[in-house]
Structure 1
Amino acid sequence: MTVVGKRPLRLSRLVVFGAAGLVAGFLVGPGQAAQARDADISLAYLCTFPSGRQAVTADITGTYPDAGGVNVPIQPGEPTVRVSIPAVALEGALPEGATAVEGTAELTTGVAQNGRAAEAKWSGLLAPAAAVPDSGDLVLEHRGPVPSVTVTAPGDVTFTAGRISLELRPKTPKTPETSDGAEPMALPAVDCVPVAAQDRRLASVPVPDETPPEQPSGTPEPSASPTDAEPEEREGVAVGPSPSPSAPENPCPKDPPAGRIDESFVPQPPPGEAPRVTNLPGRLGCAYAVGLANVEKLGGAMIVNDPTKEPRLINVLAVARSVSRPGNRPGGFYFRADSYGELPLPDARSTFLGFGFQPVSARVEFTNGPVTISTGTIGSPPNRVNFATAGFYQSLRVYDVKVNGTPLDVGPDCRTARPFRVVLHGKFPDYENVFKGGPMRGTVTIPEFSGCGTGGEDLDQLFSASLSGPGNLVAMNQGVLCIPNTPNNDCPPRIPPLPGQEPPGPPSR
């Protein structure tokens, strides 16, 4: 095995290690490591923190086997990851009173052999809470097991360090004012790219050619087995899904959601010094959001995105922007993470008692604009307040109406006269951030209807009298966000229960 020697550090140290998944020409799974040697390398990175881009150093350490074999798993040893983050990188991001930070790291690793190359995600490296120092760097130590890599041909297998992703979670001590144990929300994901013009090789593991010599003429061939029934193509590349039966699926849309953050739905900071605004690349993910919508005048509700049928996924670009102000600046501490997404909803069937006695059923079509989701923290203990809001514009169209079982032709364009605002609020810690999801609720005012009726019959006033008005409750429950190719990505997404049907106690994930 060839390892890369350690280089001197000039910047703060960031130690990252990980594990490979299935890549082109490489199979990933559990495996045995033979004799192993240590590897240690230091690299320069540029990381995007809420405060802006900062230079850090990645010191990547681990163990690799001295040699591998064709179709024999190459198993790196369990790594230790030491992360040193300069204080300037966290300026304005840590809430007042935060005494510790815990984290998760992921390294995108290049694996190459014989001119073939692909990427693997080395994920799920966890760091326990580390104390925030009065001065100097914040130091986190990550550890975690890593999967093996299996190659299908002889030749040196080279591991190369690529992008790094960090998740940082501030921790605050329990006090009489925070006895519920509520914690500040996780910071936006920190993406790091390696600086160009440096050798990023982690290690090189030789895989010798162990092809047996030709047998003399007349020597019987060995009986066939599942592994040698069909000769393997030495120059071929094995590509396919991970052999792990628990490999997460990725049902999320590949394209980011349409639209952008709608400033009219974003909570503003208290008056004071203008906060720092940082645009971030965001994390593309998806989740199920199911709920109920009341019609106050009819005293009933309809199921929105029915979990028992074919619910639709919300497509989210999570934490596309952060807004921060340190607690020692005029106006006090403020931190907010803004996300946006698309919330397509299937049509809903609903049945009410019109005017208190007449059974009326109809199908309702929802047309939603882009959804803006903001979560954050205002102030310092004991006056700290956490918030979560989601807002969008919505229109309703009613069709397939039946009164006491008799069809009522309302035409193809019986809808609210204009889009109306929907603003939902989550209560901390039930809804901590967009990644974890949770329940949200709010009330809406349904506008009057227009375009209802056919053949000269105007039914606008009938529907306006039955449906329009204020005080209509909307309750939604967003599931955990599936973020493909990230640590603890919660994929495939699970359908959450309807509001009011949640099991008692904390969520299972």
Structure 2
Amino acid sequence: MKLLRSFGVALGVSGVVGATMLASTPLEKPVAGPQQADVRVVAAIPPPEPGDFKSVLRVEGMTKIAKLGQAMSIGRGKFKALIKAVDDDRPNPLIGELLMPPAPGYFVVFRFMPVTNNTSFVQVGDATGSIDLTDLTKAKAIVKVKLNLVISEVKQNGVPLDVGPNCHTVTPVDLDLSGTINLGVKAVTETQPVTEANRAGTIETRYAIPAFTGCGVTENLSPLMTGLVSGPGNELITHLYNLCFGTNSCNPYW
């Protein structure tokens, strides 16, 4: 436990850390992991009103952490959206929830120390945006969502590093997502194998990871976590698959 901490202090954890992350798949070819329990979000979607639509998308993908130089899977989750009715040609406003499982990561820090951890993506407030339903096969969507990153179950070389239950980013990560979604493509299930032909869309964006706080039970490990992963220029690639679009068809996922 002391070895990782000592190297972090010696190198100045607030600066650039020489680290390598080992991933089983490259950034361009994410592989879905097993279905896991949802992480509870803070927001709650309001009940639909007459004329509103529901949409639920299966979400998979990868994120590349700039400081570590490699990618990790974000697991398999879903995005639930309530699409509000409009009486003109404006894009339809939407309110949504992003539900993602804890994502396991495997790193080699300082080029020799293996470190594993779980990262949870916990939504803060509502995901908001709009979607143009003029052409369901090319629906243009813009979504803003805030996520706290929560790190847990950290181990260095198999030995637990007690970061405690409240190791998270000081402020939420701001994600600005925009792209075209094919809401007319055939729906899939939450667990079936999928290919590019099943895909409703792919959205790519960059984001910054804020500093961490609340890390450590017997001592402050927040500067170490901040030095290892916080900073700008991180990439997120999300692949989307239709679970449902409409009204009653989405009730099983709601």
TM category, shorter = 0.5 to 0.7
SS of equivalent to 2:81? strand
SS of equivalent to 1:479? strand
SS of equivalent to 2:216? coil
Q: Which runs of 5+ in 2 are unaligned?
A: 1-42, 134-138, 186-199
Contact in 2 for aligned 1:280/1:322 (Cα 8 Å):
no
Whether 1:289 aligns to 2:59 is yes
Contact in 2 for aligned 1:304/1:348 (Cα 8 Å):
yes
Q: Paired residue for 2:131, among 375, 389, 393?
A: 375
Q: Paired residue for 2:212, among 449, 456, 465?
A: 449
SS of equivalent to 1:298? coil
Question: Shift of the alpha carbon at 1:467?
Answer: 0.8
Query: Deviation digits for residues 144-185 of structure 1, max 9, x if unmatched?
Result: xxxxxxxxxxxxxxxxxxxxxxxxxxxxxxxxxxxxxxxxxx
Query: Deviation digits for residues 104-152 of structure 1, max 9, x if unmatched?
Result: xxxxxxxxxxxxxxxxxxxxxxxxxxxxxxxxxxxxxxxxxxxxxxxxx
Query: Deviation digits for residues 28-73 of structure 1, max 9, x if unmatched?
Result: xxxxxxxxxxxxxxxxxxxxxxxxxxxxxxxxxxxxxxxxxxxxxx
Question: Counterpart amino acid of 1:367?
Answer: V
Task: Go from structure 1 to structure 2 and tell me whether the alpha carbon gap of 1:323 and 1:407 turns closer, same or farther (over 3 Å shift).
Answer: farther
What is the aligned partner in structure 2 of residue 405 from structure 1?
158
Contact in 1 for aligned 2:53/2:246 (Cα 8 Å):
no
What is the RMSD computed on CA atoms of the aligned residues? 3.1
Whether 1:315 aligns to 2:101 is no
Cα distance in 1 between the residues matched to 2:110 and 2:140: 38
Whether 1:341 aligns to 2:96 is yes
Question: Shift of the alpha carbon at 1:446?
Answer: 0.6
Question: Counterpart amino acid of 2:207?
Answer: V
Cα distance in 2 between the residues matched to 1:490 and 1:411: 37
Cα distance in 1 between the residues matched to 2:113 and 2:88: 54
What is the aligned partner in structure 1 of residue 44 from structure 2?
258
What is the aligned partner in structure 2 of residue 48 from structure 1?
none
Cα distance in 1 between the residues matched to 2:149 and 2:250: 32
Q: Paired residue for 2:141, among 370, 382, 388?
A: 388
What is the aligned partner in structure 2 of residue 463 from structure 1?
225
Cα distance in 2 between the residues matched to 1:305 and 1:321: 32
Question: Counterpart amino acid of 1:409?
Answer: D
Question: Shift of the alpha carbon at 1:281?
Answer: 3.4
Q: Paired residue for 2:75, among 278, 302, 305?
A: 305
Question: Shift of the alpha carbon at 1:346?
Answer: 1.1
Contact in 2 for aligned 1:445/1:470 (Cα 8 Å):
yes
Output aligned runs, 1:121-132, within 5 Å: none
Contact in 2 for aligned 1:375/1:432 (Cα 8 Å):
no
Question: Shift of the alpha carbon at 1:324?
Answer: 5.0
Output aligned runs, 1:31-430, within 5 Å: 258-259=44-45, 281-306=51-76, 312-317=77-82, 319-322=83-86, 324=88, 335-369=90-124, 370-376=126-132, 387-426=140-179, 428=180
Cα distance in 2 between the residues matched to 1:280 and 1:442: 34
Higher relative contact order (CA 8 A, sep 6+): 2
Q: Which has the higher helix share?
A: 2
Query: Deviation digits for residues 250-272 of structure 1, max 9, x if unmatched?
Result: xxxxxxx8247xxxxxxxxxxxx
Contact in 1 for aligned 2:56/2:250 (Cα 8 Å):
no
Task: Go from structure 1 to structure 2 and tell me whether the alpha carbon gap of 1:479 and 1:469 turns closer, same or farther (over 3 Å shift).
Answer: same
Query: Deviation digits for residues 318-366 of structure 1, max 9, x if unmatched?
Result: x3144856xxxxxxxxx42222221111111111222344221101122
Instruction: Give me the TM-score of the superposition, normalised by structure 2.
Output: 0.64
Query: Deviation digits for residues 366-391 of structure 1, max 9, x if unmatched?
Result: 211332242339xxxxxxxx843222
Contact in 2 for aligned 1:286/1:483 (Cα 8 Å):
yes
Question: Shift of the alpha carbon at 1:313?
Answer: 3.5
Q: Displaced runs of 4+ in structure 1, greater than 4 A?
A: 489-493
Task: Go from structure 1 to structure 2 and tell me whether the alpha carbon gap of 1:399 and 1:419 turns closer, same or farther (over 3 Å shift).
Answer: same
What is the aligned partner in structure 1 of residue 34 from structure 2?
none
Cα distance in 1 between the residues matched to 2:87 and 2:176: 20
Question: Shift of the alpha carbon at 1:297?
Answer: 0.5
Whether 1:440 aligns to 2:210 is no
**Identity, % of aligned pairs?**
30
Question: Counterpart amino acid of 2:211?
Answer: E
SS of equivalent to 2:223? helix
Task: Go from structure 1 to structure 2 and tell me whether the alpha carbon gap of 1:479 and 1:490 turns closer, same or farther (over 3 Å shift).
Answer: farther
Structure ID, larger Rg: 1
Query: Deviation digits for residues 426-462 of structure 1, max 9, x if unmatched?
Result: 1x4xx255x654111211111000111122x211111
